[in-house]
Every structure is written in C-alpha cells, then in structure tokens.
Amino acid sequence: MTDHTRRHSSDIVDGPTKAPARSMLRAVGFADEDFKKSQIGIASTWSMITPCNMHIDELARQACEGADEAGGKGVIFNTITISDGIANGTEGMKYSLVSREVIADSIETVAGCEGFDGLITIGGCDKNMPACIIALARLNRPSVFVYGGTIRPGADHTDIISVFEAVGQYAKGDIDLVALDDVERKAIPGPGSCGGMYTANTMASAIEALGMSLPGSSAQDAISNDKIQDCRNAGAAVQNLLQLDLKPSDIMTRKAFENAITIVIALGGSTNAVLHLLAMAHAINVDLGLDDFTEIGKRVPLLADLRPSGKYMMSELVAIGGIQPLMKMLLEAGLLHGDCITVTGKTLAENLADVQPYADEQDIIRGLDNPIKADSHLRILRGNLAPDGAVAKVTGKEGTKFTGSAKVYESEHQSYQAILNGDVVAGDVVVIRYEGPKGGPGMVEMLSPTSAIMGRGLGNDVALMTDGRFSGGSHGFVVGHVTPEAADGGPIALVQDGDQITIDAEENQMILHVDEVELAQRKSKWVAPEPRYKRGVLAKYAKQVSSASLGAVTD
C-alpha cells in the first residue's frame, strides 16, 4: 500500500499521540487492523422526509460493505436533505437551493475534520446531488458519487407532476375532488427520485457523463439489485482510485463538463442543470459560463422523449439500457470527449467500448437523424430584460417565440393564486419577481404556477418569466434565472402590467418593448426592497450568494 492511500487518516490515527482518537474509534467499531486501512467516508443523504431518500440508509450500508471487502474501512455519516416536492408553493421552498450549500458545507466539514482518505456520497434528490459533487470537488480526495435511483411509475403512468397538474385541472373544473384524491394516492408508489427527466434524473445523468459515478449508476431503479451492486462496486472503485491517486480534479475537467452538458441536452434535462453545473465547475476551478451551453447546444440535438414535455419516464429508459447506449451513439458521432478519465480509472471511451446499441423497436431515444429538436432545448436568452442572461426550456412543442402582455406578481404565491383564480388568460406573460437567489431569498422553483398553467389548459397560450427558477417537472413557455435579479435592480424589477414582452428562443432574445427613456425614469424611482429575512440561514445566504448566471454560489 502506497503512502498516499492513507495520507489523511494517518494524521488522525498513527502514533502514540493519537491514542485518544483511536480510543474513540474503537467505541464505534474499529479493530486493531482497521487503523492500518484507508478510511472511506460514506456520506448518506438518508431521511424519512422524502421518498427520494428514504432507502439510502440501506444503500449506504451496502457501500460500506463494499469498501470493507475491498480492503478499506468504511465509515458512514449523514447529512441533511429537503423535499422540493413537499415544500413547493410554500415559504419553506426558500430553503431548497440554500440546502445545496448547507449539504456541501456539511460533507466538507465532516470529511475535513475526520481525516477520510476517500469518499463515497449517495444522493437521491435535486439539491443533495450537486451538493455532493461540490463537496467532493472542494475536498479533492479519491471519490465516487452514487445515485439513489429513480422511482417506479404510479398506477396509470402517474408521477408527482401528475398531482401538481391535477390541482390546476381541479381549479379549472375539469376534474372533481374524488379524481384529484385518486391521483394523489397512486402517483408515488415507493422509494426513489421523481420519475421523469426532472432535476434528480438530469443531474444523475450529468454526473455519470462527468465521470464521477460508475457506468450505469444514473439509470437504475431505486429498489433493485442493480442499485445494490452499484453501491458495493463504489466501495471497490474508491480503493482503486486511492491506489491510482486519481482525484476529482483529474476527472472533472473542462472537457468532462462539456460531456455533462451534452448529455443534459440530448436527454431534454432540467434548467436546474445550468445552475448546478456552473456551481460544480466553480468548485473545481473549471471555467464554465452560460454561453458554453449555447455553443454546445448548437451541435447537440434533443433525442429523448421523456417527461415532462415528452411521454416516457426514467424507469422505462432504465428498461432499455439507460444512458450508456446514448453516450456510445454520441461518442461515435464525435459529440463526446472519449479521452476523459472517469472513476473507473478508465476513459469514457474505454467504459463504452462494449456497450450495445438500443433495440430497434424502442422509441424513447431517437436517432441522430431523427431528433425531437435539432438543437438544444436549453436556451440562454439575453436582451434588455436579461442583460446578464436567462435560461429557457423550449422543446419546440410550445413554439419558439411568444409576444404578450405582462402580468406582474411580486412573489410566487401571489402568481399561483391568480392563476388558480382564472386571472391569467391567453396572451399573458406572467412575470414573477423578487424570487431570485438574493431577493427570495433562495430562488424558489415555480412548479406550482407552471403546473397550474398546464392544468388550466393554457400551456400553449401563456408564457412565464421569473428571476426564480423551475422544477425539472415544469414545462411550457417558461424562462427563469433572469439576471440581474429584481432585488439587484435588474430590468425585471421595472416591468409594469400591460408592457409588451417578446421571448424569442430562435434569436435567443428577451425584449421588453419599453423605450430607454421610460425605463430610465422607472429606474430612478426604484427603491431596493428590505431583506425579507434578517437573521438565520436565509439571511446569511442572501448576503453571500452570487448571481444565478454564476451558479448562485456562496464562496
């Protein structure tokens, strides 16, 4: 065993002066021989807060056994998680993006203090996954990320978005309370992350393409033998990485991030991937910006017919082979960098060498000659409404250009009630502001308003823009991450009811049709709002957080 495999734990347990530390560790199960092994910290995001993470305690135990069997000493510790699906539409949702920073900080804190030589992190919901990667980047020790896996569909092909949209259908009068109750009861059948190509499955796929999880990890059912084996394999993989002295900084390169972006586009992934990939790149000191999504998007098509805008769920993609055949297809087309090293210790091309193509009869993943959209669905928009950029998700099904009249709301809650009450009508551009990283604070998701719009049958007739963000389950003509945000006096703060707004996803522009003189007059009268929170984690976050165009990072 080479010295570098125990560089950190040696400082904790070696020599006579470390007897107190060894004494403490004996109490938690260390034997004499364990002090000579590499210590593998296993960060579990288990909790009974959400179905996404309710099974991860068992996955952590499997990863620990895998590390032990490979000659290391696994040590399990926990971090928090929150549930967007439960908190959406409430004041509690302000804590969602904040939790990404809390989780990253907590994993870094524990691992930095306890002297782990290598790490396995297991995530299963939107924020804890990029948080795990951010922490691994900061620590830069041999590491593997394991995805907790996707949920199975509910009866009648339902999922959590079915429930959100059913609320809008009920408000419109299309269904009664009995039907709403039926959807509520059957949509979430058990453990696993939300079932479409929403943010969790998007980020799992991006992390696999990045090279930080083992091949196949992103496309496995939460409750499956494949997922158990994935966890056990992660333990052995970390031991191999220790021997190779292969760290996240060797894997998470600029080209690896380009691979991750390519997969997100091909799969029709969530707008949150933009926010999280920017933050992950920042953590590992890789130069990545909004315009990189535009440049890569010019050459990468949308190929996956997955929810929310498509038909299928992640479990159905799992059944035909997951994302590995897609990656092989993209590699052969010259759209992925095959020379990127991964947590297997091999390159991406080596990992994909023996992967077989999808069966001919499947229609979940299209061929490159028959894309759903010839270029990216993720559009980086600029213009006098978003000088620093905004992020739209436009598949083409909702059109590529929209001009309408602004209806302005100062919070998500205010807009949601207006939509449910029927105040939003065809031709409106719903403007939700003061919900950015600083202004919210916390940059809440607009899943409730967008689902209400879809539920009321206005998906093709109403646009929505915000300095907040969207759930991966949102679809329709929606634009988020508008920067500068309203709390910083960005142009979105100056919009008034009735103003004409054009959103153009072909020219990548977002224009407020108000002349510069009028905008200057409005700006002169604008007064920065008082912070909504003055103490506690939300107040600290608002003071530290950067622009959404930079990933909403806090360091």
Residues paired with residue 378 on neighbouring β-strands, in sequence order: 393
DSSP 212-275: SS-TTTTSSBSSSHHHHHHHHHHHHHHHHHHHHT--HHHHS-HHHHHHHHHHHHHHT--THHHH
Helix axes 272-283, 254-267, angle to 10 degrees: 170
| CA atoms in the 13 A half-sphere facing the CB of 66 | 26
Tokens found for residue 506: 């072909």
Cite the DSSP H helix spans in 421-488: 447-455
Catalytic residue among 9, 38, 471, 549: 471
Region for residue 465 given its phi and psi (left: phi exceeds 0; alpha: psi -120 to 50; beta: otherwise): beta
Give first-to-last CA distance, the chain, whole Å: 36
CA distance linking residue 89 with residue 276, whole number of Å: 21
Is residue 471 part of the annotated active site? The answer reads yes
Residue 44 host element (H or E): strand 39-44
Are residues 493 and 400 in contact, defined by beta-carbon separation less than 8 angstroms?
A: no
Specify the 3-state DSSP secondary structure of 92.
helix
Instruction: Tell me whether strands 428-432 and 509-512 are parallel, antiparallel or unpaired.
Output: unpaired
Distances (CA, A) of 56 to 29, 222, 365, 540: 21, 9, 29, 30
Query: What letter represents residue 180's amino acid?
Result: L
Ranges assigned E (strand) in 370-524: 378-381, 389-393, 401-409, 428-432, 463-466, 477-483, 500-504, 509-512
Instruction: Tell me whether strands 143-147 and 118-123 are parallel, antiparallel or unpaired.
Output: parallel
Other beta carbons within 10 angstroms of residue 28's beta carbon come to 7
| CA atoms in the 13 A half-sphere facing the CB of 208 | 27
What residues are annotated to the active site?
471
